[in-house]
Chain A
Amino acid sequence: MIFLQNYLLSLMMLVPMIGAFFILIIRHQDKEIEKRNIRSVALLATLATFALSCLLWAGFDNADAGFQFTENYAWIGDTVRYNIGVDGISMLFVVLTAFLMPIVVLGSWESVETRVKEYMIAFLLLETLMIGVFCALDIFLFYVFFEGGLIPMYLLIGVWGGVNRIYASFKFFLYTLLGSVLMLVAILYMYMETGTTDIPLLMTHHFAPSVQTWLWLAFFASFAVKMPMWPVHTWLPDAHVQAPTGGSVILAGVLLKMGGYGFLRFSLPMFPDASQDFAWLIFALSIIAVVYTSLVALVQEDIKKLIAYSSVAHMGFVTIGIFVFNANGIEGAIFTMLSHGVVSGALFLCVGVIYDRLHTREIKRYGGLSVNMKIYATIFVILSMASVGLPGTSGFVGEFLVLNGSFAYNSWVSFGAATGVILGAAYMLYLVRRLVFGELDKDDVKAMPDLSLREKIIFAPLIAAVFWMGIYPNSFLDPVHASVEKLISTHFAVVKHAAPAPAEMQGEHAAPAHAEHEAH
């Protein structure tokens, strides 16, 4: 156990690579057997990683606000080190990643028939890199994982994607490159000023406010694209539409979370003054995103595009939550990301299920699926409800906390974002109506069978997670409290005066201070 304690995170990154290595050397004359073996190894490796992530969660000390499971070795020179660890903010993202991977492998079991070997290797490498992003405690290491993760994703879209895959992957690349180059420049500057690339050390360094502004903007460029925030979101619908199902699940489930994670790990603790100064910008863009992309989602004719646009709207809640600088907002943002990872991942799998059967994503080609695909329809409705944030499902808790946190900060923000709650219901129910309700009158749709056993196994854990997170969210909030509390108290206690008056009262129990006496 001690060994596990000490090397758990490295092991989690290593296991997928070992799996990838075995897949590389699998050879068999019978191509079918070869494919089956490849899939089995991939499944085994991802399951093993998930098991390790459960150990991580079980061994995680909720009361400790600092980094745990740390490992620290020299890597490049004296400064750049292989320094990893998790705190309350990152731990659950590691678990989320490990949770989604076996599902993705199982979800691609039958739908990917070409270049299975390369496909699985790409996914396993992607898993290592994604876990790395959330564990890295060295800013350079982070950058390598952060950018490196894009490569398998380009490959997945570019090789196994749809008709316009080249355009989509190009767009994806162009956007992310723009952001990451600026971030790299910022990282270099930070290194030159402080002489370190150690993230915990950088968090304690106080950059001059004017410097903070520029550094914040540079990181913002990268994270805003990743989130994605309006108006740099247009790569996402294309990438989703062209990506294979598994790619979409990981894109929505994990890669989109890296932007939000980045804001929490870098922008807030390292540039607290700039974060406060730019909060208005974040709110403005986020509210625009919520309203704008919800309306766009309403008129989509492609299922995947619709869900992609809805993701942008949901990420708007995340950015709002992060930049209200109080416990409700930040914890709500983290919870929304986790929930969105599960729900939108599951929704993309739902699209995959019917795409595998009919090979179209056009909404109007479907209809009446409740008649012949009862289990599928039930699952789809449950996930839609989670997506619109129905209480009792995972979608509600995060949204509620974010809006509650933002109301205390500024009621305009809460008001603007909450309109998304109405619009979200509109576009999602409109989709449900066109997809699973209505008359079953198309012959090819009639011929579609309900979920197979494999598909049921894929959805079972996702649905369970949706309800678990909705009914007993404290399992997911408890590990987060200490780190978030530390983040706020360390970095925002000093600059509190800069916030609008109502936000001042948040942290304290003496809430009446929110309101002033008035002679009535």
Chain B
Amino acid sequence: MEVIFKYIVFLPLVGFLIAGMFGRKIGDRMSQLLTASLVTIAAVLSWVAFKNVAFGGEKYAVHVLSWVTSGDLSFNWAFKIDTLTAVMLVVVNTVSALVHWYSMGYMHEDPDKPRFFAYLSLFTFAMLMLVTSDNLVQMFFGWEGVGLASYLLIGFWFKKPSANAAAIKAFVVNRVGDFGFALGIYAVFMLTGSVMFDDIFARAGEFQNYSINFLGHDYHALTVICLLLFVGAMGKSAQLGLHTWLPDAMEGPTPVSALIHAATMVTAGVFLVARFSPVFEFSPTALHVVTIVGASTAFFAATVGLVQNDIKRVIAYSTCSQLGYMFLALGLSAYGAAIFHLFTHAFFKALLFLGAGSVIHAMHHEQDMRNMGGLWRKIPFTAGVMFVGNLAITGFPYLSGYFSKDMIIEAAYASHSAGAQYGFVLAVAAAFMTSFYSWRLWIMTFAGPGTRADHHTFDHAHEGPWTMRIPLLVLTVGAIAAGGYFAASFIGHDRFDFWNGALMTHVDDVMDHAHHVPAGVKWAPFVVMVLGAALAAWFYQRKTDLPQRTAEMWDGLYAFLLNKWYFDELYNFLFVRPAFWLGRTFWKRGDEQTIDGFGPNGVSALVAGIAARARKLQSGYVYHYAFAMIIGLAGLVTWFMASGSGH
């Protein structure tokens, strides 16, 4: 059994290497088929592993290669396979395989296909390394590896300045998060003397009353560690404050957005916190912070999503918002619910993104929803699957989002932990907005008798080839059924057997309490979903001048939302421009004027004055002086030592 995990992880790497190095030799077709097939094999094996691990109660430790040994620090390239990892394997490889096949259709006209598929496989490999790691450093390898793949794929169309800017922004903002993650690793090592998960978790309890010195102050050790790691999670999962890269990342090809910026990479932060749940359990403060940040992000991103006009950006903010839900769940110690939402979200969000890709494909790279409408007549299949995707994300009963999202909202109500009520209120508000912007998107894109698109584009709109439609179909099945089918295992009565210690699970925990909340709370998500959908229909179907009038009436608020709460402007002002200004100042004023001015140039001016008198000796070549000087010194020393030896 161990060996199949090596296949699961390394087959995508093989695909990457072959397509990356020999892509032009073996041709487009071969590169595509090879990478897609290898990832598909990995996906099938992942489901086998999932069954074995999650429902067979198995755990595996797979050693690959030793990595670093230095002093007391030692870690390997090795896999730790438990249910949490198995869930992630299934999510990552399934979505990745579907996206590989989908991309064959979507990227049909692109001249650089081997490179694209190589990057997709590279991403898959890095993500697998992240989720299978048995230690923090390999996880960091995967963490930065997916960052690299994300950078390369966002900037895939490298001739576009906006794509380049977005790629750099993604990498650098993620590095801010990684800065925290790395410091977290060092703190873990300092406290526990190990970076291996098993060591850390087994002994976390021992350290619950310890404090460490961080930046001159003593703090509760486990809180410091959790918060530092959480900074990393915030960067990767685009949480409020470090979210600015995610909307811009939509510059990448749409299949990339579906795979990386919706279903898998951005959930790495959720995975990290869930993986560290045995440690977070000891730090109520850290959980409180996670709750607040998660709920705030869910709310913030939903508000911005209300007014965006780019079809991909709406979904990007939606992703950001749903990730907020996951963190909210983590903060409430409802780890199973967080991972369950991650699991169902992967299906319906990938579906929505690939559906949006299908629209963009049909509309010849038009992404502005103001230039769409009425498309259901041209691409009914896409309209249909996105309709299902909307039902799933808004939590329509018995579709997958219903099980996972409602659980989070109910858990927030039931929980007595700090910030839970704040989380509950914002989560319900965000659910309302989710419904509104999701249906706004669908109506603006597909509904209506007429269209706002230009006729040429509209007339030529058509469904993608089967390679695009089949993945959509598979994801639709997932969006419908994944929730109901797995709810009992992830968050229900079977969850103790299912997780089998991979997550912190308690009897009588917040998820149990969630089943006993008042009926009003249980109905709240459903009610706001209906209200949101109705309002969207009212605004965009019935009274189509209403959006315009509302925007004018509330122009300040509208501009605030449209400009994404001015985060980009703020960061530009606070960080980007000062960095360049400081760089220039240090260079011109510091190095050239001060250091060189008083240093070498000043001295040389002085020397030049003296040297004018000794011009006879001047040959004009500096190295002559140098040579003479060294020889002179060497001679002097030789004489000194030879004559003085034995004194």
A-chain residues with CB within 8 Å of residue B55 when the two chains form the complex: none
B622 and A299 contact, CB distance less than 8 A:
no
For residue B571, CB closer than 8 A to chain A, the reply is no
Selecting from B65-73, B416-424, B539-547, the interface stretch reads: B65-73
Partner of B70, one of A195, A237, A481, A516: A481
Whether the Cβ atoms of A411 and B159 lie closer than 8 Å is: no
> From A406, which residue of chain B is reached at the shortest CB distance?
B186
Q: Which residues of B contact A229 (CB under 8 A)?
A: none
Is B554 interfacial (CB-CB < 8 Å)? no
A332 touches B70 (CB 8 A): yes
Other A-B pairs beyond A295-B583, A400-B137, A405-B71, 17, CB < 8 Å: A76-B638, A77-B646, A150-B630, A154-B627, A170-B600, A192-B644, A231-B595, A295-B579, A299-B580, A391-B145, A392-B141, A403-B183, A436-B158, A438-B158, A477-B68, A509-B193, A518-B218
Interface size on A, residues (CB 8 A): 106
B164 contacts A391, CB within 8 Å?
no
**Does A26 touch B at the CB level, under 8 Å?**
no
* Interface contact A77-B144, CB-CB below 8 Å: no
Report which A residues bind B (CB closer than 8 A). Answer: 76-80, 140, 143-144, 147-148, 150-151, 154-155, 158, 166, 169-171, 173-175, 177, 181, 184, 188, 191-192, 195, 197, 231-232, 234-235, 237, 292, 295-300, 326-328, 331-332, 368, 370-371, 385, 390-392, 396-397, 400-401, 403-405, 407-408, 411-412, 414-415, 418-419, 421-423, 425-426, 429-430, 433, 436-440, 471-474, 477-478, 481, 501-502, 505-512, 514-520
Interface string of B134-170 (1 = CB under 8 A from A): 0001001100110010010001001101001001100
Contacts of A368 in B (CB 8 A): 159
Complex A-B: 16 CB contacts under 8 Å = A78-B645, A140-B641, A147-B630, A151-B626, A151-B627, A166-B622, A170-B604, A171-B600, A234-B591, A234-B599, A292-B586, A292-B590, A414-B183, A426-B168, A471-B67, A507-B72
Q: Measured between C-beta atoms, what is the minimum distance from B31 to chain A in Å?
A: 15
Name the A residues within 8 Å of B191 (CB-CB): 511-512, 514-515
- Determine which of A175, A392, A505, A515 lies in contact with B145 in the assembled complex, contact meaning CB atoms within 8 Å: A392
Q: Write the nearest CB–CB distance from A264 to chain B, whole angstroms.
A: 15
Contact between A426 and B600, CB atoms less than 8 A apart: no
Name the segment of B204-212, B304-312, B459-467 touching the other chain.
Answer: B204-212
Residues of the A chain whose Cβ atoms lie less than 8 Å from the Cβ of B72: 327, 506-509, 511
User: A518 touching B67 by the CB < 8 A rule?
Assistant: no
CB distance from B41 to the nearest CB of A (A): 24
Kindly state whether residue B557 has any CB partner on chain A within 8 Å: no
| Contact, CB under 8 Å: A414 / B186 | yes
| Complex contact A158–B623 (CB within 8 A) | yes
B377 on the interface (CB 8 Å rule)?
A: no
A404 & B637 in contact (Cβ 8 Å cutoff) = no
Interface contact B216-A150, CB-CB below 8 Å: no
Q: Give B67-93 interface residues, CB cut-off 8 Å to A.
A: 67-73, 77
Q: Is B558 an interface residue (CB 8 A)?
A: no
Q: Is the beta-carbon distance between A422 and B175 smaller than 8 angstroms?
A: yes
List residues of B (168-187) whose CB comes within 8 Å of A's CBs. 168, 171-172, 175-176, 178-179, 182-183, 185-187
B642 contacts chain A at the CB level, 8 A cutoff? yes
Contact A403 B186 (CB under 8 A): yes
Is the pair B622, A412 in contact by a Cβ cutoff of 8 Å? no
* Cα separation A181 to B637 with both chains bound (whole Å): 12
Contacts of A502 in B (CB 8 A): 190, 212-213
Minimum Cβ distance to chain A for residue B222 (Å):
10
Closest to B187 in A: A407
- Let me know if B179 and A421 touch, CB within 8 A: yes
Inter-chain contact B221/A515, CB cutoff 8 Å: yes
Cβ < 8 Å to A, chain B residues 580-612: 580, 582-584, 586-587, 590-591, 595-596, 599-600, 603-604
Q: Do A408 and B641 contact each other (CB < 8 Å), given the known contacts A331-B70, A390-B148, A421-B179? A: no
Cβ–Cβ < 8 Å partners of B642 in chain A? 76-77, 80
Whether B583 lies near A297 (C-beta < 8 A) is: yes
Contact partners of A298 in chain B: CB under 8 A: 579-580, 583
Residues of A near B183 (CB, < 8 A) are: 403, 407, 411, 414-415, 418
Chain B, 540-585, CB within 8 A of any chain A CB? 579-580, 582-584
Main secondary structure of the interface of A (DSSP, over half): helix
Closest Cβ of chain A to B134, distance in Å, is 15
Tell me the smallest distance from the CB of B148 to a CB of chain A, in Å.
6
Indicate if the CB atoms of A140 and B67 lie closer than 8 Å: no
The reply on B473 being an interface residue by CB < 8 A is: no
Q: Is the CB of B172 within 8 A of A296?
A: no
* Residues of B near any A CB (own CB < 8 A): 65-73, 77, 137, 140-141, 144-145, 148, 151, 155, 158-159, 161, 164, 167-168, 171-172, 175-176, 178-179, 182-183, 185-187, 189-193, 206-216, 218, 220-221, 579-580, 582-584, 586-587, 590-591, 595-596, 599-600, 603-604, 621-623, 625-627, 629-630, 633-634, 637-638, 640-642, 644-647
Given A438-B164, A481-B70, A403:B586 Cβ within 8 A: no
Q: Which residues of A lie under 8 Å from residue B159 when comparing CB positions? A: 368, 371, 437-440
Q: Looking at the complex, which one of B175, B193, B207 makes contact with A421 (CB distance below 8 Å)? A: B175
Instruction: Select which of A295, A331, A370 is within 8 A of B71 by beta carbon.
Output: A331
A472 to B75 CA separation, bound complex (whole angstroms)? 11
Leading 5 A-B pairs by shortest Cβ distance: A327-B71, A511-B193, A407-B186, A515-B210, A77-B645
Q: How many Å from the CB of B161 to the closest CB on chain A?
A: 7
- Output the least CB separation between A308 and chain B (Å): 11
Most buried by B among A166, A234, A370, A481: A234
On whether A411 and B638 interact (CB within 8 A), knowing A173-B625, A175-B600, A439-B159, the answer reads: no
- Given the interface contacts A328-B70, A331-B71, does A421 sit within 8 Å of B626 by beta carbon? no
Q: How far is the CB of B477 from chain A (nearest CB, A)?
A: 36
Q: Which residue of A lies closest to B195 (CB)?
A: A404
CB neighbours of A436 from chain B (8 A): 158
Central interface residue in A140, A407, A433, by most chain B CB within 10 Å = A407
Q: Which residue of B lies closest to A488 (CB)?
A: B71
| CA distance in complex: A175, B603 (Å) | 10
B179 and A422: CB pair below 8 A?
Answer: yes
* B172 in contact with A426 (CB, 8 Å): yes
Contact of B207 among A170, A391, A512 (CB under 8 A): A512
Is B210 in contact with A516, judged by CB distance below 8 angstroms? yes
Chain A residues whose C-beta falls within 8 Å of the C-beta of B67 in the assembled complex: 471-474
B626 pairs with A76, CB closer than 8 A: no
Chain A residues with Cβ under 8 A from B582's Cβ?
295
B-side contacts of A151, CB under 8 Å:
623, 626-627, 630
The CA-CA distance from A174 to B595 in the complex, in Å, is: 13
A418 closest partner in B (C-beta): B179
Tell whether, in the assembled complex, residue A144 and residue B634 are in contact, meaning their CB atoms are under 8 Å apart: yes
Provide the residues of chain A in CB contact with B167, threshold 8 Å: 429, 433
A191, A415, A515: most-surrounded residue (chain B CB, <10 A): A515
A188 touching B178, Cβ below 8 Å: no
Bound CA–CA A151/B632 (angstroms): 13
- Shortest B203–chain A CB gap in Å is 9
